[in-house]
Amino acid sequence: MMRVPERPRRSGKTMLTLTQRRGDRWGALLAGMLALVACVSVARAEDGYGLWMRYVQADASKVEAYRAALGDVVAPDRTPTQRAARDELQRGLAGLLGVQPRFHTAPAGTATLVLGTPDSSPWLAFLQPELEDIGEEGYLLRQTQLGGQTVVVVAARRDIGVLYGVFHLLRLLQTGAQLSDLDVRETPRMKLRVLNHWDNLDGYVERGYAGGSLWDWHTLPEWLDPRYTDYARANASLGINGAVLNNVNANAVSLSSAYLRKAAALADVFRPYGVRVYLSARFSAPMELGGLATADPLDPGVQRWWRGKADEIHALIPDFGGFLVKANSEGQPGPQDYGRSHADGANLLADALAPHGGVVMWRAFVYAHDVPEDRAKQAYNEFVGLDGAFRDNVMVQVKNGPIDFQPREPFHPLFGAMPRTPLMMEFQITKEYLGFATHLVYLGPLYEEVLRADTHVRGPGSTVARVVDGSLDAHALSGVAGVANIGDDRTWSGSHFDPANWYAFGRLAWNPDQSARDIATDWVTMTFSRAPDVVAPVVAMMMGSREAAVDYMTPLGLHHLMARGHHHGPGPWVAGGPRADWTSVYYHRADRHGIGFDRTTRGSDGVSQYAPAVARTFNDVGQVPENLLLWFHHVPWQHRMRSGQTLWTELVHRYGRGVGYVEAMQSTWGGLRGKVDEPRHRHVAAFLRIQRDEAQWWRDASVAYFQSINGLPLPAGEAPPPHPLAYYQALQFPYAPGDGR
């Protein structure tokens, strides 16, 4: 394999002499090429922009086989999606094979790779029966015989399936797969696989740690940044098929005609890649945009306004996906302002969208500060009685856990509790509570843990994944949403490791049974290197990184202990302010004697929102998983853990273990110097330094605080925090990124 050295070691002069000696046109060509190398060493600096689609040339052991198998491509080019598939293959194969593939629209004698649908590629008509039940987005990928030749086929019922198959094939090549046994059949398990962008119209991204919004509303619709296309490519490579462009804390202006034209321009860019545009809808938009006196969902004028708005949108964006709504939560307007239910509100929008095939994604993230009930119980209480009251084109979008994207939460009790309503999973990809972009925390294991959690609502095996994919209750609609970690930073996600979370989200949204480890392995291989002595250690450090964050931030079921507002760093002492349920003391309830939120039947009874088998386990201090102990139980500091240590000793140990893990990651990464390109190595190393210091800060501040509460000595061997508690409490970060505005 030819590699471009940072600085070629031969001097230019020697090169010239050699070529001049040959004195023929090959010499001249060679000289030109050598000249090129010099430029390239500058231009090819790895900066993360290419994500997992770098298409670096395949290993020497594979490249000949790939060239032979894939050098001649038969592909239709009549529709935008067909051309997108061809373009991607051209780009990918040129990189991976090191030569430009030849494209044909009909089989040539040398055809080796054939893609299309039975309609677009008549030569694939023989696959029609097999494609019958593969779904609108599914595809086949297979090495087979066609006209007496061995060919690779990428076949689907629709163009978008072909594009997805092309990305799958390129992934296999990037990860060095053998083509000889190629036989893949894929159908997505979820219908809607959607990113939620919390992007404000002024370019600010709430909880964004990757620069400003990718959408430059000011220059839309006239200027279509090529980055929009690359965004759509990245999503299509994972099967992500929707994007909510604007923040759930919504602004009615996003529904104004001027902004709809801008959104339509983005939709035009995304359409060939199968990504539909959705918008967050502000419930009071009929008043703010339409000048109505009310937004009451039962008001005929309001209903007319939304129908008109939906018609206007669909005229501009024929495949408009629908609305995402945050209503009657954290200050957003909603149907309860008029004494109506969430179902009334959702159905209002659903009726407006129905003629056009759009859906409403109505968020269950609802809680009120004037309700004395345990916040963890409120969404369930609000929604479970509405099961069956929603229109067919409404999904209720439920966060993975009952509080708010904490490093660890139990699965949300609504999963399994609303069998007549399709529930959409809402994961957070951006790391609001997990160290922002500077902490290396791979979320694959978090997503996997939630999806594999067993609700037991229909007996063992009633996993959250089966609730969400609709199979448990035979729903036609199903979906997963991820709060995007994407901005205009060159790395897309604010660091070189955060794209792994976008990637894992997309892969798991397609098929929630995949393994987070396998996904990480693919991602590292495509992103950094195919070398096993890079892939193995990097995957290993990623796999433990989320548990490490739990350890150094909120071990043993603790939650919501971050600083107020921006959520940067520890704040277990946070108390007072406008709402008790926005403080830390509300959640940890530590005192001289013990710590933890009693959600057992003797406490808030949050456990009883789960199916009996689950509730029993959570309710029993002897059975509850220790990693959720303090979520469900208030226990004495001297509580004996399974390790034999007291809770206090174990707690302090866990904090330190988290810091130690980050130090181990630093060591592992340090050992990869020279095996990972220098620009990205340096960047990651700097961020790991930040992460280590902040992990230590979390540990020290938390230990100092809890010690101030329980008055206990530090367990033997544990270092005292280097500063008094007041020092940590006084730290201020008025410009931490991503704060809600």
| φ and ψ at residue 513, rounded to 5 degrees | -90, -5
Which helix H or strand E contains 255, and what residues bound it? none
Residue of 6, 21, 25, 42 interacting with a copy of itself (CB under 8 A): 42
Per-residue x/- track, 489-528, a copy of itself (CB under 8 A) = xx--------------------------------------
CB 345, CB 283: distance < 8 Å: yes
Q: By CB under 8 A, tell whether 602 contacts a copy of itself.
A: no
Q: By CB under 8 A, tell whether 90 contacts a copy of itself.
A: yes
Closest CB to a copy of itself among residues 110, 643: 110
What is the smallest separation between the CB atom of 2 and a copy of itself, expressed in angstroms? 3
What is the smallest separation between the CB atom of 333 and a copy of itself, expressed in angstroms? 18
> What whole-number distance in Å separates Cα of residue 401 and Cα of residue 404?
7
Per-residue x/- track, 55-84, a copy of itself (CB under 8 A) = xxx---------x---xx------------
Among 89-97, 183-191, 461-469, 471-479, the segment contacting a copy of itself (CB under 8 A): 89-97
CB 735, CB 209: distance < 8 Å: no
Closest CB to a copy of itself among residues 130, 678: 678
What is the smallest separation between the CB atom of 573 and a copy of itself, expressed in angstroms? 20
The token pair at 479 is 């979906």
- Of the residues 72, 88, 432, 448, which is catalytic? 432
Among 27-35, 426-434, 537-545, 659-667, the segment contacting a copy of itself (CB under 8 A): 27-35
Residue of 293, 531, 686, 719 interacting with a copy of itself (CB under 8 A): 686
**Integer CA distances (angstroms), 626 to 221, 258, 615, 631, 633, in order:** 53, 53, 15, 10, 10
Q: By CB under 8 A, tell whether 735 contacts a copy of itself.
A: yes
- Of the residues 216, 268, 319, 330, which is catalytic? 330
For residue 134, the 8-state DSSP code is: S
> What whole-number distance in Å separates Cα of residue 179 and Cα of residue 523?
20
> What whole-number distance in Å separates Cα of residue 112 and Cα of residue 738?
49
> What whole-number distance in Å separates Cα of residue 469 and Cα of residue 739?
33
- Of the residues 72, 382, 404, 489, which is catalytic? 404
Residue of 164, 167, 217, 367 interacting with a copy of itself (CB under 8 A): 217
Residue of 83, 104, 579, 683 interacting with a copy of itself (CB under 8 A): 683
What is the smallest separation between the CB atom of 166 and a copy of itself, expressed in angstroms? 17
Closest CB to a copy of itself among residues 2, 474: 2
Q: By CB under 8 A, tell whether 371 contacts a copy of itself.
A: no
CB 485, CB 429: distance < 8 Å: yes
Write out the DSSP string of 280-328: E--TTHHHHTT--S---TT-HHHHHHHHHHHHHHHHH-TT--EEEE--S
Which helix H or strand E contains 608, and what residues bound it? none
Among 53-61, 231-239, 334-342, 700-708, the segment contacting a copy of itself (CB under 8 A): 53-61
Closest CB to a copy of itself among residues 28, 536: 28
Closest CB to a copy of itself among residues 592, 689: 689
Among 52-60, 271-279, 415-423, 478-486, the segment contacting a copy of itself (CB under 8 A): 52-60
- Side-chain half-sphere of 84: how many Cα atoms within 13 Å? 26
Check if 330 is active-site: yes
For residue 331, the 8-state DSSP code is: T
Q: By CB under 8 A, tell whether 40 contacts a copy of itself.
A: yes
Check if 650 is active-site: no
> What whole-number distance in Å separates Cα of residue 551 and Cα of residue 239?
33
Closest CB to a copy of itself among residues 86, 157: 86
Residues in region 235-294 near a copy of itself by CB under 8 A:
253
Residue of 34, 177, 368, 664 interacting with a copy of itself (CB under 8 A): 34
Question: Of 252, 305, 249, 241, which Cα lies nearest the Cα of 277?
Answer: 241
Question: Of 695, 692, 626, 693, which Cα lies nearest the Cα of 655?
Answer: 695
Residue at token pair 């999503």: 235
Total interface residues for a copy of itself by CB under 8 A: 75
Write out the DSSP string of 77-129: -SSHHHHHHHHHHHHHHHHHHSSPPEEESS--TT--EEEE-TTT-GGGGGGHH
> Which residues pair with residue 155 across a beta bridge?
116, 140
Question: Of 443, 326, 441, which Cα lies nearest the Cα of 695?
Answer: 441
CB 729, CB 573: distance < 8 Å: yes
Question: Of 483, 487, 545, which Cα lies nearest the Cα of 516?
Answer: 545
Residues in region 415-444 near a copy of itself by CB under 8 A:
436, 438
Q: By CB under 8 A, tell whether 26 contacts a copy of itself.
A: yes
594-595 vs 635-636, strand pairing mode: antiparallel
Q: By CB under 8 A, tell whether 95 contacts a copy of itself.
A: yes
Residues in region 156-215 near a copy of itself by CB under 8 A:
201-204, 211-212
> What whole-number distance in Å separates Cα of residue 469 and Cα of residue 193?
11
Q: By CB under 8 A, tell whether 118 contacts a copy of itself.
A: no
Closest CB to a copy of itself among residues 36, 315: 36
Residue of 689, 724, 726, 727 interacting with a copy of itself (CB under 8 A): 689
Q: By CB under 8 A, tell whether 16 contacts a copy of itself.
A: yes
The token pair at 357 is 């095939």
Among 153-161, 415-423, 622-630, 680-688, the segment contacting a copy of itself (CB under 8 A): 680-688
CB 689, CB 439: distance < 8 Å: no
Closest CB to a copy of itself among residues 337, 739: 739
CB 197, CB 213: distance < 8 Å: yes
Residues in region 98-117 near a copy of itself by CB under 8 A:
98-102
CB 74, CB 105: distance < 8 Å: yes
Question: Of 136, 129, 127, 198, which Cα lies nearest the Cα of 161?
Answer: 136
> Which residues pair with residue 9 across a beta bridge?
none
Q: By CB under 8 A, tell whether 35 contacts a copy of itself.
A: yes
Closest CB to a copy of itself among residues 177, 690: 690
Q: By CB under 8 A, tell whether 25 contacts a copy of itself.
A: no
Among 405-413, 638-646, 720-728, 732-740, the segment contacting a copy of itself (CB under 8 A): 732-740
> What whole-number distance in Å separates Cα of residue 568 and Cα of residue 694?
10
Closest CB to a copy of itself among residues 383, 687: 687
Per-residue x/- track, 453-492, a copy of itself (CB under 8 A) = -----------------------------------xxx--
Residue of 89, 97, 480, 558 interacting with a copy of itself (CB under 8 A): 97
Q: By CB under 8 A, tell whether 716 contacts a copy of itself.
A: no
Check if 404 is active-site: yes
- Give every CB contact of residue 587 below 8 A, 6+ residues apart in sequence: 403, 558, 559, 560, 561, 597
Active site residues: 330, 404, 432
